[in-house]
Structure 1
Amino acid sequence: MTAIQSNELCLSYGDTRIFESLNLSLPKGKITVFIGSNGCGKSTLLRSLARLLKPQKGQVVLDGSDIASLATKEIARRMAILPQGPAAPDGLTVLQLVKQGRYPYQNWLQQWSKEDETMVQRALELTHMTPLADRTVDSLSGGQRQRAWIAMTLAQGTPTILLDEPTTYLDLAHQIEVLDLLHQLNEQEQRTIVMVLHDINLACRYAHNIVAIKNGKVCAEGRPQDIVDESLIATVFDLDCRVIQDPLFGTPMVVPFGRGKQPVFQDFVPDAAVTAASAAATAAVREEQPV
């Protein structure tokens, strides 16, 4: 099943055409990650899928409905988006920010409800922001601020979540924590997750579906183990590398060559035990993920 689909989508910034006649189908209940170099159009595409950017022509379909025909609140009940670098008003507390995620469910007949309170508290707990609920957003560190915005997105309670570089400003431990959380939402609640990531190895580890973008075109789309290889990385990033199997997860792991510093082991062959473990992990992954 398809969660989001683009039909003959054309996107531009000013006089610059970014995408031309793009047809894309993102699977429902899966994690899709957009990868590509800076400026290739990943964020532009994500914004268009959320109706934050109007296309020159073409159509975006959300769960079978033309997104252009839906009311703003209706879209907000179906889809949440966390853009790059969001800004909160001065003096706004974390709790007040997270409560904004329940705005789509408010009207003059229905004000704040017990369900709203439950969703806000759960979002704070999932992101470990409960102890910081009374702090102002502008007093937080970059990583804490990012987690607060993610909490607001989760409080929205939508079946589809779009995130533009959600691990920005986070150290490695918190990057894994956020991606594990998104994985949990997908596994346990079948949420559709669509996000932009710069770390290719984390993208391969967490994504069911990868969309590789180069200069406004989709170079490849599919399961990480089916499409991520040395040729794709060279095409998308203009980078020489080796792609080996992650010894823990069996997913593709990109080991880049340096443009200045050259690799010591030009003909590196993984240890036999590591190779065997990787092969077993890959087989298990493929069994769990239907074609």
Structure 2
Amino acid sequence: MSAISTEGLSLGYGETMIIDELNVSIPKGEITVFIGSNGCGKSTLLRSLARLMKPMGGSVLLEGHSIAKLPTKEVAKQLAILPQGPEAPEGLTVHQLVKQGRYPYQNWLKQWSKQDEEAVNRALKSTKMEDLADRTVDSLSGGQRQRAWIAMTLAQETDIILLDEPTTYLDMTHQIEILDLLFDLNEKEQRTIVMVLHDLNLACRYAHHLVAIKDKTIYAEGRPETVINCDLVKNVFDMNCQVTTDPLFGTPLCIPHGRGRCIVQQAQAETFLAAR
């Protein structure tokens, strides 16, 4: 059974259709990454999977059950989402932020418990934020802040985690740090992770399953090594490239053609050949 899936899902804003009758199945226990050009609907699709957006048509199924019919707290116990660029109230500490992940388990009969505190501590430890627990979120670096938000989603203790561009605004070192953290969570705890990423090479390196979106639907999906080729990159991103193999991980590696530079190099090559 898939962790989460859609059946004839259509999404839009007003009269503008963004996703049209899309069917997708997210493999359980794997890392799935949505790729595509800006504005193709990646983030819109991710939001709909978390029931943050009402479909214009079709349905989202959470482990086979219509997510629209499930109680909100029940959904929150199965699925967590980290939107792009979340903001915490000024003065909120990391520990206080991570505690918010336990909201689905609180009610007037069940107050804060030892189990809740243990979940928070595990989340802080998994994200290496224990030493920063008393720091305010707004005093952290970009990478630390992102780890704090991920800790909050971990404290929610869901089997499925959705992340919208978790590496945005981070430098290369912190991008790898965040993606390594998510990869380890998947490897060690078999969490199902669904992400939107802009960097195609990082998507290929970390994903088990890629979903390329174009023209309001799925253009291609599957394992990176079976999906990524020059034709896909050209058709989905309108970019010419060479696809080779990452020497470290054996995953597809896309080398873009710089349009102006290629024209100059081609002219130089033609001049050289003519001279011979």
Q: TM-score range by the shorter chain?
A: over 0.9
Equivalent residue number for residue 170 of structure 1? 170
For structure 1, which segment, 24-33 or 121-130, has the greater mean C-alpha deviation from structure 2 after superposition? 121-130
C-alpha separation in 1, matches of 2:49 and 2:235: 25
C-alpha separation in 2, matches of 1:127 and 1:171: 18
Contact 2:33 2:195 in 1 (8 A): yes
Shift of 1:39: 0.9
Aligned AA for 1:164? D
Alignment of structure 1 residues 55-74 onto 2, 5 Å: 55-74=55-74
Alpha-carbon displacement from aligned partner over 1:58-81 (angstroms, at most 9, x marks no partner) = 110001110000111100000000
Give the TM-score of the pair, scaled to structure 2.
Answer: 0.92
Equivalent residue number for residue 191 of structure 2? 191
Aligned AA for 2:201? N
C-alpha separation in 2, matches of 1:190 and 1:265: 47
C-alpha separation in 1, matches of 2:89 and 2:221: 39
Give the TM-score of the pair, scaled to structure 1.
Answer: 0.88
When residues 40 and 115 of structure 1 are mapped into structure 2, their CA distance, relative to the original with a 3 A threshold, is same
Alpha-carbon displacement from aligned partner over 1:73-107 (angstroms, at most 9, x marks no partner) = 10000000000111111221111111000111111
Equivalent residue number for residue 111 of structure 1? 111
Equivalent residue number for residue 219 of structure 1? 219
When residues 265 and 105 of structure 1 are mapped into structure 2, their CA distance, relative to the original with a 3 A threshold, is farther
Alpha-carbon displacement from aligned partner over 1:114-138 (angstroms, at most 9, x marks no partner) = 2211211121122222222112222
Question: 4+ residue stretches of structure 1 with deviation over 4 A?
Answer: 263-266
Shift of 1:35: 0.5
SS in 2 for 1:153: helix
Equivalent residue number for residue 143 of structure 2? 143
Contact 2:21 2:217 in 1 (8 A): no
Cα RMSD for the two superposed structures:
1.5
Contact 2:5 2:60 in 1 (8 A): yes
Alpha-carbon displacement from aligned partner over 1:246-265 (angstroms, at most 9, x marks no partner) = 11111100111112222998
Alpha-carbon displacement from aligned partner over 1:169-200 (angstroms, at most 9, x marks no partner) = 22222222221221111112111110001111
Equivalent residue number for residue 131 of structure 1? 131
Contact 1:167 1:175 in 2 (8 A): yes
Equivalent residue number for residue 289 of structure 1? none
C-alpha separation in 2, matches of 1:98 and 1:169: 22
Contact 1:143 1:169 in 2 (8 A): no
Shift of 1:140: 2.2
Equivalent residue number for residue 238 of structure 1? 238
Aligned AA for 1:63? E
Equivalent residue number for residue 51 of structure 1? 51
Aligned AA for 2:81? I
C-alpha separation in 2, matches of 1:129 and 1:204: 28
Alpha-carbon displacement from aligned partner over 1:199-241 (angstroms, at most 9, x marks no partner) = 1111111111000012322110001000100000001110000
Equivalent residue number for residue 250 of structure 1? 250
Equivalent residue number for residue 101 of structure 2? 101
C-alpha separation in 2, matches of 1:3 and 1:261: 45
C-alpha separation in 1, matches of 2:110 and 2:160: 24
**Percent identical residues:** 69
SS in 1 for 2:198: coil
C-alpha separation in 2, matches of 1:143 and 1:178: 7
2:124 is the counterpart of 1:121: no
**Rg: which structure is higher?**
2
Contact 1:257 1:263 in 2 (8 A): no
SS in 2 for 1:91: coil
Equivalent residue number for residue 229 of structure 1? 229
SS in 2 for 1:54: coil
Equivalent residue number for residue 26 of structure 1? 26
C-alpha separation in 1, matches of 2:49 and 2:135: 33
Contact 1:79 1:160 in 2 (8 A): yes
Aligned AA for 2:15? D
For structure 1, which segment, 170-179 or 42-51, has the greater mean C-alpha deviation from structure 2 after superposition? 170-179
